Amino acid sequence: MTPKTTSASSPLDAKRRLYGRRRGRKLRAGRRALMDTKLPLLRITLPASGSVDPRKLFSPPAREIWFEIGFGAGEHLTAQAASHPGIGFIGAEVFENGIAKLLADVESRGLGNIRIFADDARLLLDRLADRSIGRVFILFPDPWPKGRHKKRRLVSRETLGRLAQAMRPGAELRLATDDPDYAAWMEELLGSQDGFEALAQGEGAWAARPPDWPPTRYEQKAVSGGPARFFLYRRKG
């Protein structure tokens, strides 16, 4: 197994550090070429100052923006983009091999409604215009199961607070995990976050994946270790 590394995510925030791998196996020539030619056309670059209106990342401007944080190999993101051609999609991911796989799928399927932030998603969240996002996906993030590593989890009070600012009233927040401790963590944090309300209640309410959540190979691999739980919340008005 390749050891996880720690790297500074951006000079914009020297204190924030990104945990995890940025590269895996050496890319094949075709995917390396896509990283060199296709990624610059789709990549989101933060301006030196000011906020980012994500609708203007698309031409013509998208009527609504959906944001997937940590898209892995991009199967869910491309499936959603293909099913909703009128929506602008932003995917954030740091793993180079996953970005290259997404680029290959975007190219082969002719998708024009995806943009990529190839860095720590929280850096983009810090700059997104308020109430500019219509839906957010955080699917099977690294659970960081050891107690001393829980502070590295993507789902945190800080992240949820910034999401609440970036999401418009009524926007959906969709999460999934196969780690029981992380599931309890998500429920506890979201239950204490004034900006969100659960769209289902009761024991077992989150045990099945809704039909409009396309499955991914990563999900199938993840759930081999235990049942997945799916969460659906709404940004309060």
Write out the catalytic residue numbers: 142
- For helices 75-83 and 96-109, the axis angle rounded to 10 degrees is 30
167 phi, psi to nearest 5 deg: -90, 140
Sequential DSSP letters for 131-194:
T-EEEEEEES-----SGGGGGG-SS-HHHHHHHHHHEEEEEEEEEEES-HHHHHHHHHHHHT-T
Other residues' Cβ atoms within 10 Å of the Cβ of residue 92: 22
Classified as helix, coil or strand, 18 is strand
* Cα–Cα distance, 81 to 95 (Å, whole number): 20
Give me the residues paired with residue 229 across strands: 177
Which residues, other chains included, contact 83 with Cβ-Cβ below 8 Å and sequence gap of 6+? 212, 214
Among candidate residues 80, 31, 48, the one with its CA nearest the CA of residue 213: 80
- For helices 29-37 and 96-109, the axis angle rounded to 10 degrees is 80
How many H-runs (helices) and E-runs (strands) does the chain carry?
8, 9
